[in-house]
Structure 1
Amino acid sequence: KVVKGGRRFSFTALVVVGDGNGMVGVGYGKAKEVPAAISKGVEEAKKNFFRVPRVEDRTIPHRVQGEAAAGVVMLRPATPGTGVIAGGPVRAVLECAGIHDVLSKSLGSSNQINIVHATIQALRELEEPASVAARRGLPMDEVVPAPLLRDIQKAGA
């Protein structure tokens, strides 16, 4: 902002926090100093913490697409050893969430804030296979694809 005495600067910080074990949150802080903006972002991110459903503690249970403004992010589960195939903002969120094998594609806007919010929205839409089966009133083997069912049973055993 420009005032009579010169420019007044303001800084913003988009912060992603996670425990690397299925919990993640995002916050946006704005202040006159950089450290204050970061701390505000961290506080908001902690308030927005949520659990991400994972299979074998490494990938997501199913395909999902998240949208925020014009930012669109598609996430797909991947086989062990694939790694996180994602662009900068998406990769940061997925690594904080503790997801190690996933394929992603960012579509639409390249605005990092919208891409991060689209990724968070996609992760919020994920559902555990057991809850889908319970909602439909069907056994797990009728709802879940065979390879995923084997992974779930192997992880549970």
Structure 2
Amino acid sequence: MSDESLNETAGAENEDVILEAAANEEVPTGAEENSGEEGQVRFDKLKKAEEILRSSAPASFREAADNLFEKVVHINRCSKVVKGGRRFSFSALVVSGDREGRVGCGFGKAQEVSECIKKSSEASKKDMVSVNITHNTIPHPVMGEHGGARVKLIPASPGTGLIAGGGVRAVVEAAGIKDVLAKSMGSNNPSNVVKATLHALEQLRSKEQIYSVRGKRLPERKAL
């Protein structure tokens, strides 16, 4: 076997080790991202998993992905005990968006970590919703629900930033919202939290849409 083939094989094995290690870690949320060496190690592992996903994907997939913001929210490992031992499978939850008002989430399962992330990424692109954004924030307070999770989003003044963590932060960031206050209540299941956030964003309406539904004209601004 040539040296080049040996190097390629070793590189592939290293990628699998990194991806499997990332699957065993929980995604850091809130203060965990910014404090503690353990939280930083977890964050770095998932970041490396995303880089491997992009580098191993076909050229056409990478070109499409370059235009979208993608975030691996959660990776889960499941084991099945059979006669010959244990069989492992992986599932991933990915959020993607164009940061211009469109965002979606996807869930995928596979025997390999890289494959389940790819499936999730493709699924998130097929199920995207449009979000009304006003001056880099949301037009009005809104509450979203899914399963046992409830997420409340509140408009924020310019410069506030994203006061949110975990799946909520991933969704609003992918949608292109820059200033918002968020509160997650009830279930902290990553899938429920992400879908509750999407449910909240789907309910947003602009001032023009609200006046149109009520059959009223939007009042004209008087010149100073």
- TM (normalized to structure 2)? 0.61
Distance in 1 of aligned mates of 2:147 and 2:177:
24
Partner of residue 5 from structure 1, selected from 80, 84, 89: 84
Give the number of the structure whose alpha-carbon radius of gyration is greater: 2
Partner of residue 70 from structure 1, selected from 138, 143, 148: 148
Distance 1:79 1:141, change over 3 A: farther
Q: Which 4+ stretches in 1 moved above 6 angstroms?
A: none
The alignment's C-alpha RMSD in Å is: 1.4
Report percent identity of matched pairs.
54
Distance in 1 of aligned mates of 2:160 and 2:210:
26
Match of 2:8 in 1: none
Q: State the shift of 1:141 in Å.
A: 4.0
SS at structure 2 position matched to 1:75: strand
The 5 Å alignment of 1:74-113 reads 74-113=152-191
Match of 1:26 in 2: 105
Task: List per-residue Cα deviations over 1:49-102 (Å, max 9, x = no partner).
Answer: 12110002x001111111111010000111111111012110111111100010
The 5 Å alignment of 1:33-48 reads 33-48=112-127
Distance in 1 of aligned mates of 2:150 and 2:86:
35
Q: Is the aligned partner of 1:127 residue 2:205?
A: yes
Amino acid at match of 1:9: F
The number of residues matched between the two structures is 142
More relative contact order in 1 or in 2 (CA 8 Å, sep 6+)? 1
Match of 2:94 in 1: 15
Distance in 2 of aligned mates of 1:116 and 1:141:
36
Task: List per-residue Cα deviations over 1:81-127 (Å, max 9, x = no partner).
Answer: 11110121101111111000101100001111111110011111111
Distance in 1 of aligned mates of 2:155 and 2:200:
13
Amino acid at match of 2:110: A
Q: Which has the higher helix share?
A: 2
Partner of residue 51 from structure 1, selected from 89, 105, 130: 130
Distance in 2 of aligned mates of 1:22 and 1:99:
8
